[in-house]
Amino acid sequence: MSRESEADPSGEAALSGALPGVLPEALRAELVAFRRDLHMHPELGNQEFRTTAAIKARLEKAGLRPRVLAVGTGLICDIGTVGAEGAAVGGVPVLAMRADIDALPIPDTKTECAYRSTVPDRAHACGHDVHTTVVLGAGLVLAELHRQGRLPRPVRLIFQPAEEVLPGGAADAIADGALDGVGRIIAVHCDPRVDAGRVGLREGAITSACDRLEISLDGPGGHTARPHLTTDLVTAAARVVTDVPALVGRRVDTRAGLAVTWGRIESGHAPNVIPQRAELSGTVRCLDLEAWRQAPDIVVAAIDEVANLHRAKSEINYVRGVPPVVNDGDVTALLRDAMVARRGESAVEGTEQSLGGEDFSWYLERVPGSMARLGVRPPGERTVRDLHQGDFDADESAITVGVELFTAAALLDAAGR
- Asked if 350 and 202 touch (Cβ cutoff 8 Å), the reply is yes
Q: Which residues of the chain have pLDDT under 70?
A: 1-18, 82-92, 417
Q: How far apart are CA 293 and CA 140, in angstroms?
A: 40
**pLDDT confidence of residue 383:** 79
Per-residue confidence (pLDDT) for residue 89, from 0 to 100: 53
Long-range Cβ contact pairs of 33-37 (< 8 A, separation 24 or more): 34/58, 34/133, 34/136, 35/129, 35/130, 35/132, 35/133, 35/396, 35/399, 36/114, 36/115, 37/115
What pLDDT, on the 0 to 100 scale, is given for residue 11? 37
pLDDT for 38 equals 98
Q: How many CA atoms lie within 13 A of 239 on its CB side?
A: 19
- Model pLDDT, residue 258: 95
pLDDT at position 14: 38
Cβ(392)–Cβ(386) below 8 Å: yes
pLDDT at 305: 97
417: nearest Cα among 19, 85, 86, 91: 91
Q: State the pLDDT at residue 82.
A: 66
What pLDDT does residue 379 have?
87
* pLDDT given for residue 415 in this prediction: 84
Q: What is the DSSP letter of 125?
A: -
